[in-house]
Structure 1
Amino acid sequence: MQKIAAICTLAFAALPALAFEPLAADTMEDTRTFKIEVLQVTDIEPFQESLDGFLAALRSNELIEGKNLSVHRVKIDFDMEKGGFWSRLGVLLRIRNEAARIVEAKPDLVLTIGTPATKYARGIVEDAHIPLVFTAVANPQDAGCVSLSDAGPGVTGSTLYSNMAESVKVVQQLFPEVRRIGMVHTDDENGVAHVAAAVSSAGQAGMAVSSRLVSKNDSIVPTLKSLYNQGQGVQMFAVPLDTYYGLHRYEAATDLGDFGAAHQLPVVTLAMVRVPGAVLYVGSDFTQVGNLAGIQASKILKRRTKPDVLPILRQETPTVLIDPERAAALHIALPSAFLAHKSVGKNGFWQIDLAK
């Protein structure tokens, strides 16, 4: 009996020590390195901005690359500088091959940047029950999502989608005399969706959009001449959310800016992409939208939240930037509503906070 009593005493004495085991498990979780695979199609500056915003959000949530976070990035590129041809079938096959490799790598999370990577990788990643977060997608439904807020099973993210009617309203405030806008785009999914939204919103606002489809390897100049010279001609050019303008070292964007300056035509961009010569920028900021995707990824990694329960996030109020030098060259007088909410942003641009 004395031996039994001694054993029981030792057992009860050990209970307080056992109570600390969950803390030890938490400590092990804190030292874990999370693995993220990043997949994108084409290598353009806005996609880098998206990733920068994504990683910044993770750092804010104590997920730091090189410490407790490992990031492997794949850029599917067509080497457009050397005349590669954009093939939808080629894109599909290469994305699916990379998605299969990612599944074998068994990361904790997959980040897809842009519509093609999201659209064609999501099914394979979802079947492997690996959380997928996307960013830099203009219209989530074009990437297989249920709606603008519901990404569907195993997926969440952030979208560049913005209310085009609001963007058109900003354009009208600055250029009340403009009735016809020219837009050049390619078969880029984001570009097609963006132009369609612009056509609809501009029509409701009493303006018309003349759009032209070109190949990603085409020079933009002949199309600009055609739009400018046809009939009464366009009074302004607008840049959609299309990778075309980021290729060939921004050749199309630069040529568009030069053409506008030579003919005293304003150039506006309905996406936050660098367009030398543009006087107005209005749309969603890639860095901010990437940051929103990072917020969702942090919840998935740190709290083990299922992607399905997290809505697609988007920038609620569009960013509005004005190049003061181009505005002066075009003799544009800023409306009082713009002047009242003007501040100097990066690159010397004026930022107009219409949310105030």
Structure 2
Amino acid sequence: MKKKMMAVMMVLAMASVSMMGCGTGASGDAAASAKTASTENGSAKEGDVYKVGIVQYVDDASLNQIEAAIEEELAAKGAELGVTFDFADYKYNGQADSTNLNQIATDLVAKDVDVIIPIATPAAMIMQNATEDNQIPVVFSAVSDPVGAGLVESMDAPGANITGTSDALDTNAIMELMLAANPDLKTLGLLYDKSQDGSIGAIEDAKAFCDEHDIAYVEKTGTNNGEISLAADALVAAGVDAVFTPTDNTVMTAELAIYEKFVDAKIPHYTGADSFALNGAFCGYGVNYAELGTATADMVADILVNGAKPETTPVKTLDNGIVTVNTETAKAIGLDYTMFADMAEALVETKTAEEFQ
């Protein structure tokens, strides 16, 4: 009751200041104070407007799919709850540039947004750093290893102003797909960006699997499209039997430019997301990214409208198990994938395109 009385007194006081000539800024602050008080009590009022910052790390099919799903679900949740999630004025794309991302973080803090949604690990890490002092809630999406990246203390209890959804990868399941398609696999290529924190754990898991199964591996990395292209050439020259890439955004942005290198060499490219297969890779394995975006938006609504606390809201993971195969690539390299249907929750077929329809 005291909090509600204080909120009313603040609104009346700020309204009085506004009438004395301080302009619209004061009344806007009063509205924000009233909204904050109601949110802390888990009782948002109909008509409340929440400023939602969305920060996409880079343009690629997976992250674009997540961002679109977040927008769609926030619009639906707003209509359902009688509030408005205003994201149209606070959407950014960092284009894989840390300078851009830091400037975006500064802008969103200055605009006093109610929540920030970073999509992918590098964006999440920068938004976390930018909100340590102001404690703006951060709800990330598509972070493969939130604990390993230092974003949360644990998956069940994040411990700070940050939580979100993870696209954690079952690397061993992908390795088993490789062996099912080619039991004689002798050498595996590992293609990734070593500066992508979300890739490191999966690569280590892949190495451990190779060691256990007496499979040699060749490791090639890059930090931009040109370097990834050269790395792909090197793996082809090394004569690897297959290539593995985890949920790596740098390789994802280069996939359309490199997949034909592997196709021409008859080398299957196994990856950690369906968007790779859409962009020409033989196989993608992992979560449904549209569902991941929807789950992220639901967490945002719960925090802003219902007063859920990020520090005690568990990081959400989705069940892995969806295999996506590019049928054009499979035909070109002459590889049978029918056995995958018995090894996964679902087997989806796709053809090469730039974006999901």
Alignment map for 1:1-356 (pairs within 5 Å): 29-63=45-79, 68-71=84-87, 72-77=90-95, 91=98, 94-141=100-147, 142-186=149-193, 187-230=195-238, 233-247=239-253, 252-275=254-277, 276-334=279-337, 336=339, 338=341, 345=348, 347=350
Render the CA deviation track for 1:161-192: whole Å, top value 9, x for unaligned.
12222222233223322232112222233334
Q: CA deviation at 1:156?
A: 0.9
Q: CA deviation at 1:234?
A: 0.8
Normalization by structure 1: what TM-score? 0.74
Displacement after TM superposition at 1:59 (Å): 4.0
2:334 counterpart SS class: coil
Aligned residue identity for 1:323: N
Per-residue CA distance 1:100-136 (angstroms, 9 max, x = gap): 3322322221111111221122133242132110012
* Structure 1 position 312, deviation (Å): 0.4
Instruction: Measure how far apart 1:288 and its partner are.
Output: 2.1
Shift of 1:222: 3.7
The one-letter amino acid paired with 2:117 is L
2:181 and 2:337 in contact (8 A); partners too: yes
Shift of 1:64: 7.8
CA contact (8 A) 1:140 1:148 kept: yes
Q: Classify the secondary structure of the residue corresponding to 1:61.
A: helix
Distance in 2 of aligned mates of 1:341 and 1:100: 43
Q: Using the alignment, how far apart are the partners of 1:342 and 1:309 within structure 2? A: 30
Q: Distance in 2 between matches of 1:70 and 1:130?
A: 16
CA distance in 2, matches of 1:61, 1:319: 27
Residues 76 and 256 (structure 1 numbering): CA distance in 2 closer, same or farther, change over 3 Å?
closer
Evaluate the alpha carbon distance shift between residue 206 and residue 55 of structure 1 in structure 2; reply closer, same or farther with a 3 A threshold. Answer: farther
Structure 1, unmatched stretches of 5+, are 1-21, 79-85, 350-356
Name the CA distance, whole Å, in 2 between partners of 1:169 and 1:139.
Answer: 21
SS at match of 1:194: helix
Instruction: Structure 2 unaligned segments of length 5 or more: list them.
Output: 1-37, 353-357
- In the alignment of these two chains, the number of paired residues is 308
Q: Which residue of 1 aligns with 2:21?
A: none
Give the whole-Å Cα distance in 2 for the aligned partners of 1:107 and 1:98.
12
Is the Cα contact below 8 Å between 1:182 and 1:237 reproduced in 2? yes
8 Å Cα contact 2:326-2:349 kept in structure 1: no
Shift in Å, 1:63: 4.9
Which structure would you say has the larger Rg? 1
Whether contact under 8 Å (1:42, 1:76) holds in the other structure is: yes
Q: 1:235 to 1:57 in 2, by over 3 A?
A: same
Q: Deviations over 1:304-340 (max 9, x none)?
A: 1111121001112232112334333433334556269
Q: 1:346 to 1:340 in 2, by over 3 A?
A: closer
What secondary structure sits across from 2:261 in the alignment? Answer: helix
| Distance (whole Å) between structure 2 residues aligned to residue 43 and residue 288 of structure 1 | 18
* 8 A Cα contact 2:236 2:265, kept in partner: no
Contact 2:142/2:292 (8 A) holds in 1: yes
* Aligned-partner residue type, residue 95 of structure 2: D
Identity of aligned residues (%): 17
> Shift in Å at residue 300 of structure 1?
0.8
Distance 2:59 2:283 in 1: 25
